[in-house]
């Protein structure tokens, strides 16, 4: 196995750990996947999260409105890794059941950047977003798997 493929396998393992922690809504396990200086652009609520404290406060504010487990399924995951840096992008079906018992799901797109720090791959940047219709200024949250095949 080449160094690049070992790095890619380690990054995929980190992303699986992150996804499992998100599904379980385990804030400590999620935070363990991030570098202290991580910056996140989430799909809702705030423009930017900077650092672990900001990210933790964001999750602590969101999770009480959800019943575990979350839905978080990565599709078309692509990983490039080497030289201590990795980039991944994917489509994601994400959602949860609200306190009212109603399930909320949407298709989102994501990019995650990682660095190898002290022998561990940690997330240093992530970006999750939904496409939007600029004519109506509304998010297109009802996309489905067929939309993954649409490429401009």
Confidence of residue 44 (pLDDT cuts 50, 70, 90): confident
Specify the number of domains making up the chain: 1
Mean residue pLDDT across the chain = 89
CATH classification at residue 94: 3.10.450.50
pLDDT at 45 (0 to 100): 72
Tell me: pLDDT of 121 over 90.
yes
Tell me: pLDDT of 51 over 90.
yes
pLDDT at 89 (0 to 100): 96
For the segment 125-146, the average pLDDT, to the nearest whole number, is 80
The domain of 138 spans 3-149
User: Rounded distance, CA 114 to CA 87, Å?
Assistant: 6
Is the entire prediction scored with pTM above 0.85?
Answer: yes
């Amino acid at each position: 196995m080449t160094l690049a493929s070992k790095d890619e396998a380690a990054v995929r393992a980190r992303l699986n750990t992150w996804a499992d922690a998100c599904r379980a809504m385990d804030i400590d396990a999620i935070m363990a996947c991030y570098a202290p200086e991580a910056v996140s652009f989430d799909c809702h609520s705030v423009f930017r999260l900077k650092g672990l404290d900001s990210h933790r406060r964001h999750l602590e504010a969101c999770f009480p409105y959800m019943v575990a487990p979350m839905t978080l399924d990565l599709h078309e995951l692509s990983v490039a890794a080497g030289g201590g840096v990795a980039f991944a992008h994917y489509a994601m079906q994400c959602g949860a059941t609200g306190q009212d018992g109603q399930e909320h799901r949407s298709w989102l797109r994501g990019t995650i950047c990682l660095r190898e720090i002290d022998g561990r791959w940690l997330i240093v940047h992530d970006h999750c977003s939904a496409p939007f219709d600029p004519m109506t200024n509304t998010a297109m949250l009802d996309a489905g798997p067929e939309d993954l095949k649409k490429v401009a």
